Structure 1
Amino acid sequence: MADPMNRTIRDATGADLPRITALYGREVLNGTATFELAPPTPDEMAGRFAAVKRHDLPWLVAQLDGAFAGYAYASPFRPRPAYRYGVEGSIYVEETARGHGVGRALLGALVERVRAMGLRHVIGAISDSDTSAASIALHRSLGFRDAGVYRQVGWKFDRWLDVTLMQLDLAPDGEPPKTPGLDLTGGLA
């Protein structure tokens, strides 16, 4: 999907993994969007990509003026079968692409893809509540509501970090599921 700002959202491919790995590695080393302390290897990131794809969940890439600008993916919220209708969304945007609507485009596209799958909830776990006001505002602007805060659960850069939990209910009427949800042993049930 393209837009007038030369922003494109598309499915990620294996060819995107070097840029995905590099962006994530920089966030691990310099940011608080993840609580990992050592960047994963390219093989580890390839394994994570394959795990998302095994569940038939979306992994998306954003391009801005043809250049890699960020990525987003959905992963199972929790491994127990009763959670099969919920996913957690993750978004990472290149520093140079921030402020250009890339995060909004990625999150919006991710939500629509998950909605089309017949799933019910998208969970956002936003690290470092003190400095993630833009991410929290983005989630709220797309309909996510506050679901709680894990206080001081991560220790990184010599300080305690919170995690703000946000939730988007894709079926707020509470009707019974129309699909079998995720098969948490491999793909769609």
Structure 2
Amino acid sequence: MTTLPDNRYLFHWTSIERLQRLAKSGVMKPYWTHYLFDEKRDVKGTSTCQEPMLWHPDEELHREPCLIIDRSTIEAPLHDLESGETYHLTKAIRNARKAGKPIEPILESVVQARKRTHSTTDEVFIEGPISKDSVVAIGFQDDDLDHTGERFAAIKAIAEAMNLPLLDMTGWEIGAPGFRETDEIVDELIGRTSNYKP
């Protein structure tokens, strides 16, 4: 499995409700469990990506806010994963356990599959909670395109309450900007709007 070079910022699309809870409590609690093949254990955490548009909400859904996280401030373990493999492995292991079946054949099938295929990691899984101190900006895509709708107003209010800049990601596409360019874009945004030193 190939791992892409690290960029500084990670992206996590979330709901307005979860963002409001983060602003209020100061912590985003982990809400997803992955089975990590390389560590042979279940891990609870948060899925993030290096290139935000790979994981943005489906077109028919409302646009969601995007946490922009400075990976250098995360004290919890970070796990580079291939999301498809991890999702299917976690599901298969969960089903086997419910049925009282051994998981060893499932793990062996991953070993064999990795011999036949080449994949690239596309997920950085943050183990444990995320502090709001690690969030440096909030990205958004606007349903209304004119920044007058209720959803944008809610995201803007949360960003102001958290004293974070907003990054307009409306119109971004997969690969444009790519994961290398996002660091420059976020650094420029932070430089224009705060005293944060990347």
Settle same-fold status: TM greater than 0.5. Answer: no
> Which has the larger share of strand?
1
Q: Which protein shows a greater Rg?
A: 2
**TM-score, reference length from structure 2:** 0.28
Ranked by relative contact order (alpha carbons within 8 Å, sequence separation 6 or more), the top structure is: 2
Question: So what's the TM-score if we normalise by structure 1?
Answer: 0.29
